[in-house]
Amino acid sequence: MISVIIAGAGSGSRSKLDKNKLLFASDGQTVIETTVRAFLPVDEVGQIIVTASVRDQKEFAAILCPLSDKIKVVLGGDTRTRSVKNALEFISGDITLIHDGARPKVSISLIERVIEKARANGSAIPVLPSTDTLGVGVGRIESVGRENIYRIQTPQAFRTDLIKKAYSFVADGDSFTDDSGVYCKYIGPCEIVDGDRENVKLTYPEDFGKFPFAIGTGFDLHQLVEGRKLILGGVEIPHHKGLLGHSDADVLTHAVMDALLSSVGERDIGYHFPDTDPRYKGADSIKLLREVMSIVASHGKKPVSVTAVIMAEKPKLMKFVPQITQNLAKELGLPEKDVGITCTTLEGLGIIGEERAIAVRCNLLVTDK
C-alpha cells in the first residue's frame, strides 16, 4: 500500500495572500483540494495524511475529509521538517510519498514514476536539470555551473522504513527544505526520476493569478495669476504668472499625490492636507509628496510607473521637462525612464487655452514593495 503525506502547514508568506495560500481558490477549488485530488485516482494509494497548522486544521478537514475516507488531516509543526516527522507517525504503507501542498499540478504519470522507482531502489526524487547557472555564497558567490545540477521537486517517494529511520535521527532544531535532504544526510544519495515542468510550486502572488499591480489616477487644476511663482514638479519655472493656491500650488505634484493616494485606496490630498490648516500655507508640495510616499509605503506598495500630462498654453515647458522628470523620479524612487511627463496646449481654447489655468492629469501604477 502507498501512503502519501501532503505538507500543508506552512504560512505561505511569500505569496502575500491574506491567508494560507493553499486555501486560495482558483477555478472554484482550493489549491489544497486540487493537490489532494491528484492522488485519489492512483489505486495503490491507501492513505493520505495532510499536515495543517492549528489555524487551518478545521478548514482543511472540512474541505478534504468528504473527498475520501483515506484522507486524514493532522497537526503539523513549526517547520516543514517537524510537520513531516509528525505525519510519519500515522503512516502504514510500505512506500511513502511526500508532496508539497502547493504543487497542485502533479500528474498521475509522475506519481507512478516515483512509486515504481522507490519500490525498486528505496527512494525516488523527481528532478529537472537546471537551465540557469547557479551560484552559492552569501553576498559574494562562487559559480557551481549547471552541469549535473538539478532542481528538486515533489512528490518524493521512499521506502517507509528508510524515511522513518532517516527522520528518527532528526533533532528538534534541525530544519530541512525537503525530505530528500533528510534522506541524503542520514541514509544516502537519492535515486532520481524525470520531474515535470508543469509541476510548479505556487509561491509568489503571480502564481495565484493575483495581479500584483494597482492603478492610481490624479487630476488637478490651479488658476494662473500675476504675482505668484510657477512651480511644477518642484521646479521653479520663470514666467510672469504663477499658480494660485493655499500651498505653493504645484499642480503637477498635487496630481501625482492624488494618483498615489488613490492607488492604495486612501482619501485625496484635500483630506490629508486640508487648505484650512495654516500648517500647509505656502507649503512646499514636494515635502507633502514625501508624506504621501510614506502613506503608500505603509500599505506595502511602491510606484513602478508614473505618467502625467501638463496642460498649459504658456509658458513653453519643453525645456524644463528633463529637470521636472529628474526631480519627480528622485522623490518617487524611480529611474527617470519610468517617469513620463508630457505637455500639451489646448489650442487657445477654454480656461487653459486662455492662460487662466494650468491642469495636470496623472496616471500611475504601484506594486508590492
> Which residues in this chain contact Mg ion in the complex, by CB under 5 A?
220, 254
CA–CA dist 144, 205 (Å, integer): 29
Q: How far is the CB of 6 from Mg ion (least distance, A)?
A: 55
CA–CA dist 148, 130 (Å, integer): 8
Q: What distances in angstroms separate CA 219 from CA 102, 207, 260, 362, one per listed residue? A: 43, 34, 11, 6
Q: Which is nearer to Mg ion, 17 or 244 (CB)?
A: 244
Q: How far is the CB of 151 from Mg ion (least distance, A)?
A: 53
CA–CA dist 19, 244 (Å, integer): 48
Q: Which is nearer to Mg ion, 87 or 231 (CB)?
A: 231
CA–CA dist 266, 221 (Å, integer): 20
Asked if residues 98 and 154 have their Cβ atoms less than 8 Å apart, the reply is: yes
Q: Which is nearer to Mg ion, 36 or 243 (CB)?
A: 243
Q: Which is nearer to Mg ion, 162 or 309 (CB)?
A: 309
Q: How far is the CB of 275 from Mg ion (least distance, A)?
A: 9
Q: Which is nearer to Mg ion, 254 or 301 (CB)?
A: 254
Cα dihedral value 183, 184, 189, 195, nearest 10? 70
- Can you give the length of the chain in residues? 369
Using alpha carbons only, how large is the chain's radius of gyration in Å?
A: 30
Asked if residues 186 and 169 have their Cβ atoms less than 8 Å apart, the reply is: yes
Place of cell 515535470: 196
Helices marked H in 242-313 — which ranges? 251-263, 269-272, 285-298
Residues 6+ apart with CB under 8 A from 256: 218, 233, 289, 306, 308, 328, 332, 362, 364
Q: How far is the CB of 323 from Mg ion (least distance, A)?
A: 21
Q: Which is nearer to Mg ion, 45 or 231 (CB)?
A: 231
Q: Which is nearer to Mg ion, 220 or 266 (CB)?
A: 220
3-state secondary structure of 360: strand
Q: How far is the CB of 293 from Mg ion (least distance, A)?
A: 17
Q: How far is the CB of 346 from Mg ion (least distance, A)?
A: 19
Give the residue nearest to Mg ion (CB): 254
3-state SS of the chain: helix, strand, coil percent to 5?
A: 35, 30, 40
Q: Which is nearer to Mg ion, 31 or 232 (CB)?
A: 232
- Residue 273 per-residue DSSP state: S
Q: How far is the CB of 358 from Mg ion (least distance, A)?
A: 10
Q: Which is nearer to Mg ion, 61 or 351 (CB)?
A: 351
**DSSP conformation letters of 163-199:** HHHHHHT--TT---SSHHHHHHHHT-PPPEEE--TT-
Q: How far is the CB of 174 from Mg ion (least distance, A)?
A: 59
Q: How far is the CB of 320 from Mg ion (least distance, A)?
A: 19
